[in-house]
Structure 1
Amino acid sequence: MKLPRRNFISGTAALGIGAAYGWPSAPVHAQTSIGDIRIDVVSDGSLTLPGGFIFDPMPKDELLPILKRYGQSPETLTPPCNVTMMRHGDRVVLFDVGSGPDFSPNSGILLESLEALGVAPDAVTDVVFTHAHPDHLWGLLDDFDDPLFPDAQYMIGKTEWDYWMNPNTVDDIGDARASFAVGAKRRLEMIEDQMTFFNDGDEIMSGVAARATFGHTPGHMALEVRQGNEAVMILGDCIGNDHIAFAKPEWNSGSDQDPETAAATRLTLMDQLLQEKTRVIGFHLTGNGMGYIEKDADGYRFVADA
């Protein structure tokens, strides 16, 4: 019988084995505290995507100088995948669950990253989804197609749930994303009895409020973790990269399902986060995804935590 990869690669000693097989080599993480809330940002690896996935709708004469300034290839994207874990009292909360083994060969290392922090899957009490794209949802199941976090309760925005559970979505989403729809519906159906829905502005648990950030998907949500004057915004993919999304947030991106709405969301959110000096955690932002937004000459820029 083939052993599940999570059992074969166990503990820090296995990281060298993983590197030998071409798997991601380190469960990098960042940590911060907000009052008595502890937040860790852990790695699920990275993706390799064609540049056109984001850049195709953009004006090339303006785009290429910006990418050069950022050292970003127009041909290939290799974004990190940063999963946020929150520990507060007796709750261990994951915001998204990564992609698992079936989406991208360089991703799917969330379990190894959690293990490095001494967190087992059955310790996770809650899973909150920003949205249901594969790199955020497909890590839900283990190698035997059972839910990986057996004791967790699940939460998702009601608009997002309704979209992916609609049987017409697979036909309406377009050929390039049809597999996204099939995969999302199958996985969400498996946890339907453990699912709770939320809407914009809801306090989904103590210290965590939902913020509608529609556009990347029809019901995308960001989550603000706050105690007193301290806060961090878990962005998901509403600000989806550390280069063009900051330099030209008003441009339509090929990665967004509703590009016009997503661009309007980015502009509004960037301005708010800048004015309030709110720390952010982005699923695909550079380094460990944690940092701040600053104003730049032409737009904004992401300043990663040191």
Structure 2
Amino acid sequence: MSPAPFYTLTAGDLTVTAVSDGLMSAPLSLLSGISREEAEHLQRHSGLASPETIAIGAYLIRGRGNTVLVDTGTGGANGVGGELIANLARLGVGPEEIDAILLTHAHPDHIGGLLSAAGTPAYPNATVFLPTRESAYWLATSTFDNASDRGRRNVLLVRRVLANCAAQISGVDDEEVIAGIRPCLCPAIRPGIPGIVSKRAIPRC
């Protein structure tokens, strides 16, 4: 069973829709701070057939004259996901209509969808906002040198995306990026990784 592709809520004067990019496998041993039993319960409650399956997703934010994506899924990298553009089409949104992309971080399942299968920008009219700490991390020599073989493949993938989309990418810290939306630091995966908030929906974070 795949998760439903769309869940929508209203945040102030914005409409926020969760859009599926597909599924990927990952062992529950990757998790910390939660028991295996609770993790399995939450996964099955989410409609996933296997508890060791992760739903890959992005958010579409519409309002104030903007059409914004938060994260882009995998783009099919490593043979998983890659369903985001097709699911956006089901919402009546084409890739050329996206005018801004806010990346929470640059793991392949968040940044990989910036590129088409041909290696060109998948969202040609979008300004891509990426935390400056993230670009510095992925481009650092030490990040590659200290990574496992799998990690090094991911580093090279991320660097390819950054290079091919360089003309679109704008560094961001905690300033407002578009139409009252700004990053809010919540470093769960790694220090420096933000969430995204609307200042009208959530006055302070």
Structure 1 residue 77 corresponds to structure 2 residue 48? no
Equivalent position amino acid for 1:217 in 2: R
For 2:189, the equivalent position in structure 1 comes to 216
Matches within 5 A, 1:78-117: 78-105=53-80, 107-117=81-91
Aligned partners of 1:86 and 1:207: how far apart in 2? 12
Contact 1:86 1:92 in 2 (8 A): yes
Change (3 A) 1:177 1:211: same
Structure 1 residue 161 corresponds to structure 2 residue 135? yes
Question: Cα RMSD between the aligned structures?
Answer: 2.8
Structure 1 residue 231 corresponds to structure 2 residue 205? no
Q: Deviations over 1:81-128 (max 9, x none)?
A: 2210111233211011000112243x2100111000100011110111
- Tell me the CA shift for residue 35 of structure 1: 3.2
Matches within 5 A, 1:48-67: 48-54=25-31, 63-67=35-39
Equivalent position amino acid for 2:78 in 1: F
Contact 1:93 1:125 in 2 (8 A): yes
Between the two proteins, the alignment pairs up a number of residues equal to 201
Equivalent position amino acid for 1:82 in 2: G
Aligned partners of 2:5 and 2:36: how far apart in 1? 31
Contact 2:77 2:108 in 1 (8 A): no
- Tell me the CA shift for residue 134 of structure 1: 0.9
Q: Pick from 148, 159, 173: which aligns with 2:122? A: 148
Aligned partners of 2:140 and 2:29: how far apart in 1? 28
Equivalent position amino acid for 1:99 in 2: T
Contact 1:208 1:226 in 2 (8 A): yes
Equivalent position amino acid for 2:129 in 1: M
Q: Deviations over 1:226-277 (max 9, x none)?
A: 32xx3399xxxxxxxxxxxxxxxxxxxxxxxxxxxxxxxxxxxxxx8xxxxx
Contact 2:18 2:57 in 1 (8 A): yes
Equivalent position amino acid for 2:71 in 1: D
Structure 1 residue 45 corresponds to structure 2 residue 52? no
SS in 1 for 2:76: helix
For 2:47, the equivalent position in structure 1 comes to none
Change (3 A) 1:214 1:121: same
For 1:239, the equivalent position in structure 2 comes to none
Structure 1 residue 134 corresponds to structure 2 residue 95? no
Contact 2:100 2:127 in 1 (8 A): yes
Q: Deviations over 1:29-84 (max 9, x none)?
A: 011223332211111111111232336xx7xxx93454466576xx9521212210
> Runs of 5+ in structure 1 lacking a partner?
1-23, 234-271, 273-306
For 2:92, the equivalent position in structure 1 comes to 118
Change (3 A) 1:66 1:90: closer
Q: Normalising by structure 2, what TM-score?
A: 0.85
Q: Normalising by structure 1, what TM-score?
A: 0.59
Change (3 A) 1:81 1:127: same
Structure 1 residue 172 corresponds to structure 2 residue 143? no
Contact 1:48 1:104 in 2 (8 A): no
Equivalent position amino acid for 2:193 in 1: H
